[in-house]
Amino acid sequence: MAANPRTFADIQRTVLTAHKTSTTENKMSFYDSWSELYEQDVMLLDYRAPVLVAETLAAVMPEDRDQALVLDVACGTGLVTTQLQRLGFCNFHGVDGSEGMLELARSKSVYQTLQKCILDTELLPASSGTYDVVVIVGALSEGQVPHTILPELHRVTKPGGFICMTTRTNSSNQLYKKQLEIVIEEMEQQNLWERVRVQEIKHWEKATSVHEAEQESKYISGIIYTYQKSRSQD
């Protein structure tokens, strides 16, 4: 435990930096430096996405979870995989662009493999049709992973496998959400995947911007998209 505990103002400044950092190199450097405090900070934010996503996937996969191979994209320190393991999933691969985050994820000994991958410039390090489940939580938002990664998520998923994605629905992320949903819907129209469940979550995490923090709920909202890859896909 740090001698001088983090304040909410500290976290506000950190999150603002996360979304404003421009170049890929600077972003990865930022996440490397944040890695040691990341879990403490998201706990103080009451960040609920890892639990909610794990519960969603458990609901759509009531059987054979222990056999499913899961790819955790932008895995960070492993918050999502920890929750999935709690609900009976056992087999995990992870990718992230930050070596600092990956180092902490390795320390949990829940992943069979962890690889560094810069998600806005590189293909996912996996063959097509490898995974039963692909999950990306917290990274699809303005200033983070571009929505153009969706075809890659689809590519590495097995026919009939599940893809679970999240984004925030607060005011500053509305343009990104709109662009993301255009791609999601286009892929649905092309019969690349079909909608399983879309859940809007009112209390996603505590608001960090001054404007949003002044709203009555003190929380921003988010959304979970769960899709199933067409079984006819190679």
Q: DSSP secondary structure string, 64-75?
A: -GGG-EEEEET-
In the structure encoding, which two tokens stand for residue 179, read together?
């662009």
CATH classification at residue 160: 3.40.50.150
First to last CA, the chain: 49
- Minimal CA–CA distance to 84: which of 131, 142, 126? 131
For the chain, the 3-state helix, strand and coil shares in percent, each to the nearest 5, are 40, 25, 35
Does residue 166 lie within any of the structural domains?
yes
For residue 220, tell me if it sits in a domain. no
> Structure pTM?
0.93
In a domain, 19, yes or no: no
205 is a domain residue: yes
- DSSP annotation of 7 reads P
Query: Does position 215 have pLDDT exceeding 70, yes or no?
Result: no
Q: Is residue 203 part of a domain?
A: yes
Minimum mean pLDDT among 117-121, 125-129, 206-210: which range? 206-210
- The predicted pLDDT at position 66 comes to 96
What pLDDT, on a 0 to 100 scale, did the predictor assign at position 1? 42
Number of domains in the chain: 1
- The answer to whether residues 192 and 154 touch, using CB atoms and an 8 Å cutoff, is yes
pLDDT tens sequence across 187-199: 999 999 999 999 9
Question: Three-state SS across 98-138?
Answer: CHHHHHHHHHCCCCCEEEECCCCCCCCCCCCCCEEEEEECC
- 123 pLDDT tier (thresholds 50, 70, 90): very high
Task: Give me the domain span that covers residue 169.
Answer: 8-13+26-213
Cα gap 24→228, rounded to integer Å: 30
Question: Which of 54, 78, 52, 51 is closest to 68 using CA atoms?
Answer: 54
Query: Band of the pLDDT at 223, cuts 50, 70, 90?
Result: very high
